[in-house]
Structures are given as C-alpha cells and as structure tokens.
Amino acid sequence: MSPKPASRIEAASGQAWAGCLGRAAGSNSVSWLHLGFAAIDGLILLQVGLERRLEAAAILTAVFLATPLSNELINRSLASIGIEIAEAVRVAWNLGDALLVGHLTGWGMGAGAYLLLLIVGSGVLLTPSSLWRGAVLWGGTLVVAALDGGTPIRWLPLGAGTAAAFFLIRDQSKVIAQMLDEAVAGRGEIERARRELGAIHDAAVRQEKLAALGMLAAGIAHEINNPMSFVGSNVSLLHRELKALPTLPEPLREWVDEILPETLDGIRRVNSIVADLRRFARNDRAEMEPFDLNEEVEAALRIARLQVKGSCALVRDLGPVPQLLGRPRQISQMLLNLIVNAAHALHGRDRGIVTVITRRAGDEVLVAVRDNGVGMDESTRARLFEPFFTTKPVGEGTGLGLAVVHGVVADHGGRIEVESAPGAGSCFTVRLPCQPTHVPAPESRPTGTWRLDAIQIRAAGA
Amino acid sequence: MARILVVDDDPLVGKALSRLLRREGFEVAIASDAAQALVMLDGFTPDLVLSDHRMPGMTGAELLALVRRRHPGVLRLLISGDAERAPSVAGDPDLEFVAKPWDGPALVARLRGMLSPYDAFGEREVTL
C-alpha cells in the first residue's frame, strides 16, 4: 500500500486560490494572459495561458490536469470552480461554486444556470466527475472565484481541442480512484485497530475489576469463616445434644425437628458460598498433578446429569488430548459450572443441547461448552465473571459459578473466550496450556496478581 | 484422658472448639496466642496442640514448628479458615491440617485417630 494517500484527499478543505487576468494587445489581435495559482494541501498549481490560441490552451490544460489535483479535489474544493459555456451559463461546478449561489446571481448569470445551481445546491453538492469531463470535452471557460465572492476569474478556454486533456483526466481519475480506495481501506484498517485496542482496554478494565473483587472476596471469605466456624459448631452441638435427650418438652421438639436443621442448612449454604468465593480468589494451594481432561469432562457430565435431570441433551465430542498438569478437582468443578450454566440458559426449551468439545490446538488444549439457548447481550457479557453477578431470579443462583470458572482458568494459566449473542446461544471456550507456564501459588494473603490475558470476550461473528 | 491445647486469637472460636472437645471427653485448655501457648505447653503438658494459623505475632504454623522442636512427643494439628492445606514452613513438611469451618464429628474422629494409643506410641517412638 502506498503511504497514506488519505491525508491528501481528506484535507482538501485547506486551500488557497488566486488568479489574475491581463490584457495583452498585439499589433492586429488581442490576447488574454491568464495567471492562476492554486494550492490545496501542499499541492501547488500554477497556470498560465493565452486565450484564442488553442495549442497553448490545450497544453496548459494538460499541465493542469496532470497534476495530482484531480476531479475529486476540484469537486470537493470550497473555492468556487465552474465551467461556463457562455457568459454566466455554467455546465459544471463544484461544491464551492454551488455554495456561492447568492454571489453568482450578482454576476448576472442566466436564469437556467441559476436554476441548475439551485437544484445542485439543494441536493447534490458534489458534481460527479463525469459532468466535469463532459464539460471539458464539450467546451467552455473555467471560472474560478474566491470564496468571498470577489470578481470571478475566467481562466481556461476549453473546447473540442481539449480531447487530449479529457484522456488525461480519465487516467488521472483512475489513479485518484485507486488512491480513494486505498484511503478507504486504510481508514478501515485504522478503524479495525481502534476497535481491537478498545476491546483490549475493556478486557483490562474488566480484569482489574475482577482482581479487586478477588481480593475483596478472599478477605471476606476469611473473615466470615471464623465466626461461621463457631456458630456452626455451637448450633450443631446444640442440635445433637437436644436430639440425644430421651424426653423433650413440646416447644423444643420443633427446634430439634425443624428449626435447628433449617438453621444448620443456612449455615451450610453460607459456608459453601464462602468456599466458592475462596476458589474465585485463587487461594487453593493444592499441588499440581497430571490429569486427563477427558476424564474430568466425563466426571463433570455425570454430576451434571443428576442436576439437569433430563431437561436437555448433554452431548460430548471428545478428541484426543494430552495429559495436562493442574488441579483436576478444580477443573471438574469448573466444567460442572459451565455445563450447568449452559443447561440453565436453555430455559427448558425443546431440543436444548449442551455440547462439550475437547480438542488439541497447537500447544494448547481447548474445552468448549456450547449451548443453543437464549444467549447473552453485550451488557451481560461484560459482567459475566463478576462475583454475585447473576441473571437468574433471586434464590436460584449465587452468581459465583462463572466467577469460580474464571478463578480456576486463571489459576491454570489458561484463557477463557466467550461467544454469544441474544437468541444465538453461547459458547465458552477454555484454553489450557499443554505445558503450564509456572503459575506461582499465591501467598496466604490475597494479592491482586491476576493474569491480564485471562479473558477475551467477543460478540458472536465479530 | 488425652489433653488438648487449643490456640486461637478469636475467643469465641477457642470456646466453641473447647466446648465440642470437652463433650467428647478430652481435657482442654485455651491459649489466645503463640506466646501464651508456649508457656502452657510446660504447665498444661498437652498431648496435642490444635492451633489456628493466622494470629497476631507468631503464626500457627510457626508455633507448631517450634512445638515439634521443643516437644517432639506432642501431636500437632493446624486449623485455618483461609487455606485448604497447611502453609509450608521450612523443616516442617508433615504438618496436619483441618479447614475452618470444621465439621464436629469429623474433627473429633480425626483427633481420636491421631491420639489413638498405637499412633501416639508410634509417633513417640519415631520422634524420640
């Protein structure tokens, strides 16, 4: 690609025009001397010509048109440029000329041309190149006026003899067309880069947010664990001792049969939320061990079957994958969370299918969990991995499932990608390195050492 | 009856543990930090020290490493609410660990197992 043609075209509004007209009287004829100067964004155009001498006019026209100043540039110019075939009767004009309708009337132009200008001025401000070419071929005089509407300058007599110039225009317009194409392509590339940069920035912001939440979660988990330990211990001791009594007064019977078991269930629920939070915060320091990803998928599917109870089909498509090093209990927990989440996204629709796919991809192993369910919109995708973010009704989800998934994937030095759109289902793809880069076990105190590249979220089809 | 020294900076945790263990027939004393525990190791002469990990001053793992050196016959169990296994302390690779919140019957069974005469005897034979 040639270097940045875009700037020359796009900056066409920065320009200056000047010209003068002199009368040269010879012994038996009168000639007009034309001097023209045009500068558009660094390109300088000089024009000198004598009217009534066709050869000179044709050469000067060729010089004029051979410069990189193209039809397109003239068209977009805010200086007024037009071609007249008779006094104030214009057959072609540019944007600047069209904008000067008010001044043009002062030049005493013909009513027909005025009407034409009105039509152009009200709609198509840019004359198409073909009109210019036609006008040049047909003949006329190039008229240039400054934007302030000063005295118009008649520059270049055009006529049948400028056919050569016409071909030059055509050649030039090809170059210009190519330049325009390249400019458009270049702009597309810049736009694409900008979008990518934006996505990376968004991901970084999300990561930072998750890291902060991870620290918070780890802190909360520890602080809750202590009181919950004695609350749970005391209540369950009370329950056991009351239960062991041979006879109980009637009001206490309800405590033994209902109230204390329900209280203990509540304590268990709090404890399991805290345990999830801690998993999200990457505070598990179990040793890495070799494991078979496909076996963990099977294990997760077995448990998932019990949970989804036949509400959807669970399909597996497991390819050969090498042994990985990691924490298999976490991996199966992560897979279970993804599968159950996918099943919930089906909302009991007919023919709901959750597919689990494993593949080797270069030096990575990927496991994808795909559903054909409701899908997610942009705002949901953006907050997906935040702890306690849930789209489920109150009481049906803690909003920790995907937070745990994120923690496990980050813990294994992997990445997770999400593709989803409303109505188009969702696909979560986890990529784990075959040779794990050593992810140091975190210190006992929670720290914000999260991998920046752990998440990539993109819209389906993007 | 086996004697257990419970170390926890949270008095309510210490009391709950001791309540549970006393009902199971253990003799229990409570220390609120490592310094106090080191004093009580001589006075109370426990068979086992059950210590919290994260405490002001010396951590539980450091305390239990010290117990291993000074009182090789005393059994040790670390209990903590912010980890799933014992933090590694240099020169003390085999520290046993239980997570908070604990499950009462499971914790008691664990302690009984550690304190059973055979194990206790075996432990003493190896370390003395």
Q: Note whether A122 and A240 are same-domain residues.
A: no
**Number of domains into which chain B is organized:** 1
Burial class (CB in 10 A: 0-12, 13-18, 19+), A215: middle
Burial class (CB in 10 A: 0-12, 13-18, 19+), A381: buried
Q: Note whether A142 and A255 are same-domain residues.
A: no
* Assigned token pair, A5: 């043609």
Q: Note whether A289 and A415 are same-domain residues.
A: yes
Distance separating alpha carbons of residues A186 and A183, to the nearest angstrom: 5
CATH code of B105's domain: 3.40.50.2300
Residue B17 near residue B104, CB atoms below 8 Å = no
A326: closest CA of chain B, how far (Å): 16
The neighbour count for residue A220, using CB atoms within 10 Å, is: 17
Nearest residue to A133 via CA among A86, A71, A81:
A71
Q: Note whether A203 and A85 are same-domain residues.
A: no
**Number of domains into which chain A is organized:** 2
Q: Which residues pair with A203 in a beta bridge?
A: none
Distance separating alpha carbons of residues A432 and B16, to the nearest angstrom: 43
**Does B104 contact chain A (CB < 8 Å)?**
yes
Query: What ipTM describes this predicted complex?
Result: 0.83
Q: Note whether A96 and A35 are same-domain residues.
A: yes
Q: Please identify, among A129, A158, A187, the residue that sits at the C-terminal boundary of a domain.
A: A158
Residue A393 lies in a domain: yes
CATH code of A211's domain: 3.30.565.10
Q: Which residues of A touch B12 (CB under 8 A)?
A: 227, 230
**Does A271 contact chain B (CB < 8 Å)?**
yes
**CB B82 to CB A236 under 8 A?**
no
Residue A163 lies in a domain: no
Q: DSSP string spanning A232-293?
A: HHHHHHHHHHHHH-S---HHHHHIIIIIHHHHHHHHHHHHHHHHHHHHHTT---PPPEEE-H
Q: Which residues of A touch B56 (CB under 8 A)?
A: none
The residue range of the domain holding B72 is 3-127
Q: Note whether A149 and A203 are same-domain residues.
A: no
Q: Note whether A21 and A134 are same-domain residues.
A: yes
Q: What is the pLDDT along chain A (462 residues), one digit of tens a residue?
A: 333 332 233 333 344 444 344 445 555 665 545 445 455 544 455 555 554 554 444 445 444 444 434 444 555 555 556 666 565 565 556 655 655 544 444 333 434 444 444 444 333 333 444 445 445 444 555 555 444 444 555 544 554 333 333 333 444 455 556 666 777 777 788 888 888 887 777 767 766 666 677 677 777 777 888 899 999 999 999 999 999 999 889 889 999 999 999 999 999 988 888 887 776 665 455 678 888 999 989 988 888 888 888 788 899 999 999 999 888 888 888 898 899 889 888 876 777 899 999 999 888 999 999 998 888 888 888 888 877 777 776 656 677 788 888 888 888 888 899 988 888 889 999 999 987 655 444 433 333 333 333 344 444 333
Residue A236 lies in a domain: yes
Q: Note whether A133 and A237 are same-domain residues.
A: no
The residue range of the domain holding A92 is 6-158
Q: Please identify, among A133, A158, A183, the residue that sits at the C-terminal boundary of a domain.
A: A158
Q: Note whether A110 and A213 are same-domain residues.
A: no
Residue B63 near residue B71, CB atoms below 8 Å = no
**Does A13 contact chain B (CB < 8 Å)?**
no
